[in-house]
Structure 1
Amino acid sequence: MSVNDRESFDADEAVGQSGKVDGHDFRADIVAVRDNVSVQTMLETVCMATGLRFAAIARVNEQRWITCSAVDYLDFGLTPGDELAVESTLCHEIRQHTSEIVINDVRSDDVYCDHHTPKIYGFRSYLSIPILRPDGTFFGTLCALDPEPNQLLDNRILKMVRLFAQLIGDSLHAEDKLLETRGELAKERHLADVQEQFLAILAHDLRNPVAAIRSGLRILARHADPQAKETISLMDATARRMADLVNNLMDHARNRLGGGIVLVRSKNADLAGMLNLIVAEFRAVAPDHGIHATIDIPHPVDCDRARIAQLLSNLLGNAITHGAQDRPIQVSARVVDGMFRLQVANEGKAIPEGRLSDLFLPFKRGGDTSSREGLGLGLYIAAEIAKAHGGAVSVVSDDTKTVFTFAMPC
């Protein structure tokens, strides 16, 4: 028994020609059924339980009948992607009425004894169960046939085959949802890439205007009177803060786009001098906090001192922003047992425990942020600088104080 009047072609080619049918992609349907290992087991079970020697899952619509998966012990000749003329099949009637067909022996069947389909394909026993998606839309059929008669009107057999058809419909729905989720994820990834590129361009283009402002302020300060110099100094501190934000944006964008935090390490880095300079700058910016520093680094440290200074600047900026106002900030930097440790401690409310886990993620901020400035990049950049140095930044927070600690091997 074989099928001679059928079109045979590759599944991928069939799909490319068919496009979308009933709002669904034929290609995705064929592949989803063909590659589902459970479907093959179901079809084999149908054959064993019924005695029918050919079983298949067919995708059926008004114009087409295409094989998605088949078990063929008859050399019937249908493989995934093969197509029959839909009018020549009983599945065409099932699609129209969404009802099953079960035939023990065509020759003694009052309805189908003279039907053209059994004559075309030479079968006597046949069953076909509609496959519906959970929303009720018709997908196709689970059909089986044999050139010999078989006892198919058995409630146990029919319950099993109906269950298989339902499971296949449910799996197709799950596959549709998976493809939809993958599409949404791809869109989100593309949007994220565009956002990262926008941040990189924005940060790059902001650097020159900020540098020009600071340069102009320095020129003005040379010829200003004492009162004007004080105002210029405050403006320059604000411009420096803007420059820090731009640098954080640049580092974030570079890191997210694959460049990572760039280090220029030196084994003879005068780290103590650089850290003292950062502390002095913040004392000028936030005199009410009274920054107390203990910096004890008697020997050079192998590091990128500009990056470590940036890390301290971010931690100090965070302490000033989120710490208790008019309360001192403690800075400690020392080398102990081959480890460089830098700590910044501020008084104030504890960071909520629920925020500690994402504190070092980009665009996340600790404490009450309703009236705070910043982008939420400072701690993230600090953590990335620490990671680039082979170290890490940690935090401990309670109702008395919050302490950020950076530690790295010397």
Structure 2
Amino acid sequence: MTSITSLPDDDPLCHDVQRVGVIADISLLLEACNAATGMGFTAIARVTEDRWVTCMALDKADFGLKPGDELDVRSTLCHEVRGTRSTILIPDVDASETYCSHHTPRTYKFKSYISVPIMRSDGSFWGTLCALDPKPRDLTPETERLFQLFARLIARELDRQDELEKGRANLQTERDTARLREEFIAIVGHDLRNPIAAVTSGLRMMSERDLPPEQTQMVILEMQRALTRASQIITNLMDFARGRLGAGIEVEAPRPVDLEPVFRDVISEITKVAPQRVECNIDLPNPIVADPQRLGQLLSNLLGNAVTHGDSTHPVIIDIAQRGDQLHASVTNQGEPIPEDVKASLFQPFSRRKGQNSLHGLGLGLYIASEIARAHGGRLDVTSTAEAGTTFALSMPARQG
């Protein structure tokens, strides 16, 4: 590793180090990055044209960097991120044609790496959220999106601090931002650990024991369930954060599409890991103007909710049909009815049923589903009784051109 220097107290960049250090729950954000990737070193770095300074770090790999430490910026890949304003993601340095002979991995002795630019609201580059590890790591597109989301949250917090320093921050906005940050980071840091722990445990069992085929299949199924849940958590978090950052739920529906294959793919994926039987009836004779990816996500959230809360001895029933100028889709499960006082908040973010723990998710799935329905000009309703079960029903226009 190249030489590390520490900033003197009068260095201008000390102010940036201090600003990052006072962000509430910033250590939980780094813990969430570590939990999502398993990478030993994660840092928030201030990167200028000629300097690289650690503002906050989680160092479980003994790289030796702490807040206020400086590296030669030309020895880092963050220097390249600054130049391109684009993410660098390397699951395995040795397998990368671009970086297998690059001086930076050799200098810092890492095999996996990710660096995401932190861009301020005025479009200026501020620094990076980066992580590296001596071992190759499975860095997926979902990992990249998670880091990008956290980078946006950091940038937003820095913008907020600017407003406070200039005396323009609104008190209510501050309270809302603080509450969102605390809920978001605390829940991510806790909930993502569950599926990651399940996969880790399954891999350990398969590597340390000579399991019979039927038990191996069972372990694989549990890992599939965990990975499906982790993917849903990350997708819902991205959409929720985009909505809170002003982007809203994005819908792309330029032309009519055949939705039946989309719905059947979602049903097939979740049916493979569901403990109960899933019965479906789909009657969509005509293409409909809609965003297939978003409606697939809506059905996935509703079906995942039904599988989680439904009685495993009774089937989950899906009915999707075009009736006149409306598309109707419903998902019904048997189980404990939802109390009336809970129904009112079911479509609100971070809403959990009474007694529900984090294993049942973030409380974002139904909120995201209702926002997707709204973006299509439709609505999502719920009915729940002991006799008929719980039904979530979508109704939206079925335009054909």
The higher radius of gyration belongs to 1
Higher relative contact order (CA 8 A, sep 6+): 2
| TM-score between the two structures when normalised by the length of structure 1 | 0.47
| TM-score between the two structures when normalised by the length of structure 2 | 0.48
